Structure 1
Amino acid sequence: MLLIAGGETDPSVESLVARARLRGMDARTLLVGPGTNPSLAWSFDDDRLLIDGDEAAPAGVFLRYDVFGHLADGRQATAYRANAWYTALQGWMLAHPRVRMLNRRYGGQMNKPFMLHLAARMGLHIPHTRVTNELDAVEREMAAAGPLIAKPLTGGGYAQPLEELLAGTERRDGRSAAPAFVQRRMVAPEVRVYGVGMGASRRFVAYRVDSEALDYRVDDDSVVVHLSLDDVGAEGVDGLGRVMDALEMDYGAADFKADPESGRLAFLEVNSAPMFAGFDAVSDSAVSDAILDYLAG
């Protein structure tokens, strides 16, 4: 039996559940949200897990942290609830090594500068990059460096033209209060590649995102196109595989854009818990199929 757990209103969870049901898989759900209040009991005395009063012994679990509940109502209690459910289920999964899960061996390294540096060491092409808060120095070099962007070192923010950052950021002695990425601006196409599995058995699924925006996540009119791996090329696909192997990551998605000078795809970042509903929608649920096949063993 496969357990799919996460937010009641999470589109990626909805996509995976729908695909599992269409395939006739032995799967049950544990969904948390405004319309649900499931029960869970994990006894350490006999190590039994009860979900809604029934004993559960899933062979595989897909677990996704619910961010959508808190986004909808902004209540601290909702964020606490999501964290507690995620912690309880992740704890059970980690305590049972035979249960198939995503990224069991992945250490959770989410440091974006480290990830980008690792990608370069693994042979991937990356944009010219600097991590800095020296805004005066960057401003002096802008003309010679070509179009530049700035983006936060942590998650949750969007890339923006460097000019916008310079205009809207307070400086002290020519420096901002916090460092950020400053990078050469890459150009279309924007490519996303999902990887599921480890080593030679890893399955890759690729897409192109067409958007007029610098960051397609802010563009409601962006268009997703399913690509063949040949469209991406071995450099990007094999390089992503090396990065994921180095991190012991068996599930993730990497974003690439084209270098304006060479046309080569440049690695931007890899995400260990990417959303995928919009990508499933244009590829007959290719990402969900890869996840379900991996968790089913």
Structure 2
Amino acid sequence: MPVSSAYGANRFAVAPMIDWTDRHCRTLHRQFTRYSLLYTEMIVADAAIHGDRERILGFANEEQPVALQLGGSDAAKLAEAARIGEAMGYVEINLNVGCPSDRVQSGTFGACLMKTPEIVAQAVLAMKRAVDVPVTVKCRIGVDDQDTEIALNNLAKAVFDAGADALWVHARKAWLKGLSPKENRDIPPLDYDRVYRLKQQYVNQFIGINGGIQTISEGLQHLNHVDGVMLGRAVYHNPMMLAEVDTAIYGNENGPASIDAIIDYMCHYADRHIAAGGRLSHIARHMVGLFHGAAGARRWRQILSTEANQTGATSNVIRRAYAAVQNAAIEKAA
């Protein structure tokens, strides 16, 4: 579905996920897909402004394209954080209007901002004035007992009137009281049709969809109705499915490097991280799901989950775990 927007190239994205989509996770994901848009975890605007910027916001150029997701509701702070993000090289600044956690609610941002679209609009306008890169919003279809037709329409009108370049919609309500963040990802029913209807209203604006999408094939079906598709937990738990993206969605016939080459790359990457004072577990934890459903996957998980956490662990742990997978594949083929 064409959209008259410079943002239209971002047809596939890996969702921002707190505690998961850090620089090491993005480095792994990038080995499987050259073109997908990758997101940071949600970074609170105050942390971006006052925190250790290299630790909190730093990333390698090899991860690009990378978008920075910010949390907050103060327009001036968000504009300053956006300026910092742009200066550090992020290709997009995204505002979180979907996270339902208690911590986020206490700060009056995240999903509770669905109730105050005028505050979201002020933030978008301030960020648009502060940066030249795209400014986008990620939201829910509503919260609590809101009518999702009214709530999502009001939010979309507010952000697009303020100049937002795209709206990514998690196709579920968020319940701010009574459900945990985990339950909010599963219990509220999915309503993809609501997002489709929004796209019909905003033919010339980029509308992307997120929530409960399990495969790249499912994502392709959504692209018949909206401009972009975003996967989160499914990709995190099975990163190898990203190998399909560049061909299936972007039409690139080359595909990713071989799994041998990817494992070798991640081993060298881990060695550099360890030499700089890091731990193997910082990287290996994102690789546990790599061989999801394949022969030897259980042994791979066991080795990474136990040995990578040990003091002094090196990339040899990854190589040993991969050897176990290769041996299992040989035995299965015999």
Fold conserved between structures, TM > 0.5 = no
Higher strand share goes to which structure? 1
TM-score (norm 1): 0.31
TM-score (norm 2): 0.28
